[in-house]
Structure 1
């Protein structure tokens, strides 16, 4: 847990993703075994880069694409990765009077985009995660849809431990994802959470160029 002094300093959130990553790194376990850090593309990668530096770990990119609600594309009803089935929030599907079958076309488009981005961000050969601790990092949790899909994808590689680490998250999303990860580390869980960007003073979109530049700073094999 953060000390009272640090909590007071973070009452208004983080300066930017780099600041958030440095703070987040201080809350991670100190006994991770041969860790690999995955940043959720796109916004999670600058946060993850700071975590990877602090841990002396390799940095990789995880791609999960949200499947938006009809008429509200920013609200994720579910998410999909490049491989495997999509994950959906059954309560939201009911609320929007829709079904996974009705979202198949969008799911297919987002899976194709996830594959394209994975190829773009691939740096060197895939690395084995078996027996290693994996830390999945995002810049925040709103619904947690993309993090859930990414966690399930990583779990298939049989890591020793699977940790989800975020600077800020909606309390309900944090609770829901505790069943997907071995541990969820979230620095701030404000009751007044409305959006991830609310907790950053600078929250500009992360570009592909920024991600590729960050990846060049870490070993590719």
Structure 2
């Protein structure tokens, strides 16, 4: 059990020390992954970017991810009965939301180049893993030297799935019984846009103080 996302971030950062001061970039999944990513980036002395990606839900169950989309790319796992028209319409809606998020965060987040660098994808936890799997596949196209998935907790299914997809996965807890990410935090309040901006701004200020 983690107290909150910040304490989970410190524990996670302690398992990622080999990446400190390297040519890497931490990419946090907003919004819940941002407090965790902030701590990881601060402790490793790495830049923090946002992975502006949202899932594409199955038409029969919107919570079940069959892929994901970014502003410039998409990745879909083929499913029987899911039409290309549904995918196109869903991607368009997802990108509208991502454009809103980009507008909200653009003054505080800089997109780092990924080619040839170690990319550490951070979230507060993984349930099914399908959205993050699609994120990994899309980031591959940016030609990073290595993709690391780093999370405090994941279901066993997601852990195994992402172990195959990523070059490395660092996960603090892989419980036998998984009741959802929030069940492993004492404090799992919803992260707001204001808090995302706070952490992005705070890390930038701390970096400026060091240079």
Q: For residue 189 of structure 1, report the CA deviation from its aligned partner.
A: 0.7
Deviations 1:133-156 (A, max 9, x none): 211101111111221232233322
CA distance in 1 between counterparts of 2:151 and 2:110 reads: 27
CA change 1:160–1:192 in 2 (3 A) is same
3-state SS of 1:52 partner: helix
Aligned with 2:96 (options 108, 112, 115) = 112
Tell me the number of residue pairs that the alignment of Structure 1 and Structure 2 aligns: 204
Deviations 1:98-137 (A, max 9, x none): 4454343222201221233234323365332233221110
Aligned with 2:150 (options 165, 170, 173) = 165
Aligned with 1:34 (options 23, 34, 38) = 23
Instruction: Say whether residues 1:192 and 2:180 are aligned partners.
Output: no
Q: Stretches of 4+ moved more than 6 A in 1?
A: none
CA distance in 1 between counterparts of 2:140 and 2:119 reads: 9
Instruction: Say whether residues 1:62 and 2:47 are aligned partners.
Output: no
CA change 1:99–1:178 in 2 (3 A) is farther
3-state SS of 1:187 partner: strand
Structure 1, unmatched stretches of 5+, are: 1-12
TM, length-normalised to structure 2: 0.86
Q: For residue 71 of structure 1, report the CA deviation from its aligned partner.
A: 5.5
CA RMSD of superposed structures (Å): 2.2
Instruction: Say whether residues 1:23 and 2:11 are aligned partners.
Output: yes
Q: Contact 2:109/2:200 (CA < 8 Å) preserved in 1?
A: no
Deviations 1:26-58 (A, max 9, x none): 112514522211100111111111111110111
TM, length-normalised to structure 1: 0.82
CA distance in 2 between counterparts of 1:200 and 1:55 reads: 23
Instruction: Say whether residues 1:178 and 2:163 are aligned partners.
Output: yes
Aligned with 2:32 (options 31, 37, 43) = 43
**5 Å matches for 1:116-131?**
116-122=100-106, 123=108, 126-131=111-116
Q: Contact 1:135/1:163 (CA < 8 Å) preserved in 2?
A: yes
